[in-house]
Chains A and B, each alone.
Chain A
Amino acid sequence: MKQWLWPVSIIVTVLIVSLTALWLEIPVLQPLSVAAFLLLCPGMAVMGFLRLHDLVQTLTLACALSLALDAIVASALLYGGIWSPQLVLALLLGASAYGACVRLAISLREALHAQPTRGV
């Protein structure tokens, strides 16, 4: 699977969720896009650095890590006395987008470094 596919998918999902849940609050899209994001994206942003080549392993770990991170961030804010589901989502969106961007930058840099050697 192409190295850039997951980071780009995460960035696109982050944009959709930001639009549907935080700004526009579109009724049908909101639960679907937010659920999909929370189920996979925060974990997948981390998985990008692990570079697992097996889809089952990647999805399983991404799902578990996403759910755990969702819960841990939400709990940290709750115990910190600043319970706000919107803030939890914003933090998760930000972290996922940051992870995906860094991963994308690494992939691009690797691709650029790899290109000259192909012609040799």
Chain B
Amino acid sequence: MRKSEISIELSTATRSAHSWEAATVAFPLLALVGWSLSLSSIHVGQMSDLGLISVMPPLTIASLILLQISFAIQLRQEVLSWQRLLLHLLLLIFMLYSITTLVEAEPRFSVVYRHAGYTEYIMRTGSVDPMLDAYFNWPGFFILAAFVTNITGFTSILAYAAWSPVFLNLIYLGPLYMIFRSFTSNQRHIWLALWLFFLANWIGQDYFSPQGFDFFFYLVIIAILLTWFRAPAGSSASRDQGATKPVPMPPHSLSARSARAVRDVFAWFAVPDENVQTIPQMQTVMLLGCLIVLFAFVVFSHPLTPFFTIASVSALAYFRRITPRWLPILMMVMTFGWIFFMARAYLAGHLDSLTGGIGQLSGTLAANVTDRVSQGDAEHNFIAAMRVGMTLLVWLLAAVGAWLRLRRGHRDASLLLLATVPFVLIVAQSYGGEMLLRIYLFTLPAMVFFVAGPYVSPSTNPVRQSAAISLLCLVLLGGFFFTRYGNERNDYLTQAEVMGVAQLYLIAQPHSLLIQGWEGTPWRYQEFESFDYLSLDADFLPALQQENVISIVQYIQDKRPPGAYLIFTRSQKATADSTTNLGKGALDRFEGVLQTSPDFFLVYSNEDAQIFAYTGVTERGTEMVGQTFLSVTT
């Protein structure tokens, strides 16, 4: 071959390499452009009970599919480019978690408005009142929110709360990367596990909430322990691994065999890691100090997260995976110290509900699983079943991945503990039917690491591996559309609904009784302590079922508040229709009864919110309602 031919061939190869490199950047950007253009075609008002997927244009879905395939191709490049992988990951987080913020007019989830109310209370009064609400017994998150909102010049968290999922998932990235890197140096494995985490994080705890925020701190605490505090071989923690003396028993008895099995399991879990990073003592002390500060914040900002942290750290310490082994004891002292000294007000009124669930496994499982898939319309049940199915799929794939890694000689003892220990908490509490969701979240980092394992083996054909990764990502993405945004028709809030509630606060005088038709009202975001709140579904369900207003009237007459109002909104009706067996239009029918009742009259109405005032209260109240009615209607 002549010199000129060689140089032509080389330049052609260089050109094609350059164009390929350009394409790998162009694909994710193309996906972003397509996704952005498609957003204007999403009309949330036309959603069915299948959620956001029912109004998603094909271009939105195609853009996200393109991003999955582009990532899978990127992951199989000979030389990995962390910049391009990071670009993909950032786009994935933005496209998956900001979509509702961009297509909906108001922050989703009624609970966010309640959280706005707690923050507003602190901003207004500069204090917390533990007797007022359970959350004020663990107010760290709300104090921080009040401080940040005030000092940045906002008047309410509602100005920025809708961006919480994007923000929280972005800050989860760092600790997740640290955790995965403490188990493997294979960058493909780390990046795929990160990718899968965001595809499988459908449970939606990342809204503006203490639990979503505290999950970040949980991840950082675990990342610190696994990066700098792993027990090295020969340390005092690992030296005494065989020190437990066997209790003498007949060699072939069942108890002897069981004891031996337990000992073997313990010994397997307690084998120390190799190549453990050692750091100077000064650094150790400082890192430990940082960890304690982080946990201190967790302790006083959420009731449940400290227990997940303690469970994971205790397991790691008990099996001698980490040092210092006294850390779980310190964490328990901090947690119970806060509960007994600072959350006493809550403890006094809720001891039964806190301890009543201990050991009630079947009741907890019923509240967490069966109740969710057996009530409501067919589409809602399909979404509930999809959630159970995707959860089981992730756990199954993780089990297979863990087994395959074990066969290849990887001893992921710490990761196995992190994947299994949070399940212990289901024995203690149903947590309002949400415990399984929380367990899913806290086990997810370990689970996705195991899921990713088989797909990044260096021995597999790269093309086949890319195809397998694409397929896995597409399955999880398909599930994500249904699982994360499947209840969106219930969760999203319109401007008219929020305006309706604002009108309610204008109409109702302080200490009035406010009754919602069903859960899902965007209220309590201002002066929440000045009103009494009730819900027909929780407090007057028989009256609602029998379309009978007498018991409500009797209740109001007994309480004699200065005013009483019933509010019905679009999201209440959507929730009642899809999640219960009351039948479609139950709240509309009840509204019809109220309209014919002499005890109530309609004081405000827009397309998504209706407010009824009770007419028969004190004279002062009636007069006030009449005046407000005149001002609203004129």
Contact = CB atoms under 8 A, between A and B. Distances in A.
Given A57-B227, A61-B220, A68 B296 contact: yes
Interface string B203-228: 00000000001001100100110010
B462 interface: no
B456 interface: no
Contacts of A57: 178, 227
A84 to B, nearest CB: 8
Contact of B301 (A25, A71, A86, A88): A71
Given A27-B153, A72-B297, A75-B300, A61 B290 contact: yes
A74 B144 contact: yes
B336 interface: no
B152 A78 contact: no
B127 interface: yes
Nearest to A79: B128
B23 to A, nearest CB: 28
A89 B301 CA distance: 20
Contact of B224 (A31, A56, A61, A83): A61
Contacts of B216: 64
B544 interface: no
Contact of A69 (B128, B152, B224, B293): B293
Contact of B286 (A25, A49, A71, A81): A49
A34 interface: yes
Contacts of A56: 174, 177-178
A85 B148 CA distance: 8
Contacts of B174: 56, 59-60, 63
Given A56-B174, A60-B178, A61-B220, A72 B293 contact: yes
A106 interface: no
Interface in A1-53: 21, 25, 27, 30-31, 34-35, 38, 46, 49-51
Contacts of B128: 78
Interface string B341-353: 0000000000000
Q: Top 6 nearest A-B pairs by Cβ distance? A: A83-B126, A60-B174, A71-B144, A31-B152, A68-B297, A85-B150
Given A35-B152, A71-B144, 20 more contacts: A30-B153, A31-B154, A50-B286, A56-B177, A59-B174, A60-B175, A60-B223, A64-B216, A64-B220, A67-B297, A68-B217, A68-B296, A72-B293, A74-B144, A75-B144, A78-B126, A83-B122, A83-B127, A84-B126, A88-B147
14 contacts: A25-B153, A30-B152, A31-B154, A46-B286, A46-B290, A50-B286, A60-B174, A60-B220, A64-B217, A68-B293, A71-B141, A72-B297, A78-B126, A88-B147
Interface of B: 122, 126-128, 139-141, 143-144, 146-148, 150-154, 171, 174-175, 177-178, 213, 216-217, 220, 223-224, 227, 283, 286-287, 290, 293-294, 296-297, 300-301
